[in-house]
Structure 1
Amino acid sequence: MSAPILELRNLSAGWGSAPAIREVSLTVERGEIVTIIGANGAGKSTTLMAISSILRPMSGQVLYEGADTASVAAEKLPAMGLCQVPEGRRIFPRLTVAENLDMGAYFRKDGDAVRHDMEHVFELFPRLRERRDQKGGTLSGGEQQMLAIGRALMGRPKLLLLDEPSLGLAPLIVEHIFAIIRRINEESDMTVLLVEQNANLALGLAHRGYVMETGRISMTDTAENLLQNPDIRRAYLGE
């Protein structure tokens, strides 16, 4: 059996001297969609920032494709196949849609393939094609989320990190975005680690899930089992 594409071993990280996450261990196998669910402030986004080398571990390890990423700068990870769609989207507001997508491929030298991949993004998100010459800052929130995902896809990631992709968006837009995430995973076998406050949505999409409470992993199971777990349903699904 091949090694997981991502493994966290007793990872603690945070700001200053106080860890926001403590001794977090999890694995993501190739081709999986794995989700981390939990309340606001549980440490989900901090975990993604530590995986992306934005935060350095206080202790423990982040292993990507079997290698410890502690010494790898955050800006080097996309070229290694690890791309993140951050919370709040963080597109370039003064650049056009097409220019934003080009930024996702900044490290690539295969111009023809980059153009092909941009066409694929436009096929996934037709609204972006309609607005390709429009400034990113003038797009709606849903369109900006599509653009942020499209920008990450331009790097041809092996592992895509998604941080709260449903945040602040209308239900129909969220449904469309989650359908695209499923399609990307099924068509290209791209691995996805999804952080999401909407547990129902996340567990409906994922293969497996981890529950995070106050900076620690409190439970892990298949997404189907977590959806049926009465404690999860009470705590996160409002039942």
Structure 2
Amino acid sequence: MAETTPILELRNVVSTYGRIRALKGISLKVYDGEIVSVIGANGAGKSTTLMTMCNVVKAVEGDILYKGERINDVAPEKLPPMGLCQVPEGRRIFPRLTVLENLDMGAFFRHGKTQIKDDLERVLDLFPKLRERRRQLGGTLSGGEQQMLAMARALMSRPKVLLLDEPSMGLAPLLVKQIFDIVRMINEQGVTVVLVEQNANLALQAARRGYVLETGRVVMADDADRLLSNPDIRKAYLGE
């Protein structure tokens, strides 16, 4: 994997909620084909980082670059057609639509019925539970199934970069393992993944590289296996 131009990059990005500076000059790089994990305590700025990457939270300083182009002024809804798609914390599926209708929403901006149909089959192969539940309303699914649906809906947009925010939140351990196995499979199919996750151990095991945030700043960046073996990280985030 050539590490020349990052596919996604933040350069000295500051973002705010009112007068509160949530991100205080963050810089990070994501290269094509990677899984990059962003870890940190509650309130560190992890979710804000993802939302700033896709302009849901506006950067008031610094640059957001996607495929080498500055995207600070691109409307959030224009980014999925460009290949940058977020699976937000809390899933946010359409509870009154069926599974299939939710998946159709993921491809709403696309053309080419044959390609969309092929992608639907590929997504349902990746998430067999959704195939079983395809006629059910999204709101009747279990928490784990809703998380799968949120990920599958994002995949229907054919993302180049997938921003995953807390995919394991509220799930039983067996389902968490299943979700992370699917994240690896998605990555193996050519999708770059930026993973925000409270479970630092799982996040770093899945990733190639990682960033550690504290109060809106990057305090450490390294290969994921080095972070996993770092005694300070193990004490602060892995409960040792």
Give the TM-score, by structure 2 length. 0.98
Distance 1:21 1:184 in 2: 29
- Correspondence list, 1:1-239, <5 A: 2-186=4-188, 188-239=189-240
The code of the aligned residue for 1:149 comes to M
Query: Where do 5+ consecutive residues of structure 1 fail to align?
Result: none
- For the 8 Å contact 1:38–1:44, the answer to whether it is kept is yes
For 1:54 and 1:110, locate their aligned partners in 2 and report how far apart those are by CA, in whole Å: 28
Rounded to whole Å, the distance in 2 between the matches of 1:48 and 1:5 is 15
Q: Residue 221 of structure 1: CA displacement? A: 0.5
Q: Deviations over 1:101-127 (max 9, x none)?
A: 000001100111111111111111111
**What is the CA-CA distance between 1:19 and the residue it aligns to?**
1.2
Structure 2: gaps of 5 or more residues: none
Distance 1:60 1:182 in 2: 31
Q: CA deviation at 1:75?
A: 0.4
Render the CA deviation track for 1:189-209: whole Å, top value 9, x for unaligned.
210000011000000100000
Q: Is this contact kept in 2: 1:63–1:69, CA < 8 A?
A: yes
**1:17 offset after TM fit, Å?**
2.1
- Distance in 1 separating the partners of 2:86 and 2:16: 18
Query: Secondary structure at 1:77's aligned position in 2?
Result: helix
Question: Per the alignment, in what secondary structure is the counterpart of residue 57 of structure 2?
Answer: coil
Q: CA deviation at 1:54?
A: 0.5
Instruction: Kindly state the Cα deviation for residue 18 of structure 1 after the two structures are TM-superposed.
Output: 1.9
1:78 Cα deviation after fit? 0.2
Distance 1:26 1:179 in 2: 25
Partners of 1:228 and 1:27 in 2: CA distance: 22
Contact kept, 8 Å, 1:14 with 1:46, in 2: the verdict is no
Give the Cα separation in 2 of the matches to 1:231 and 1:221: 13
RMSD (Å), alpha carbons: 0.7
Q: How many residues in Structure 1 have an aligned counterpart in Structure 2?
A: 238
Q: Distance between the aligned counterparts of 2:16 and 2:108, measured in 1?
A: 29
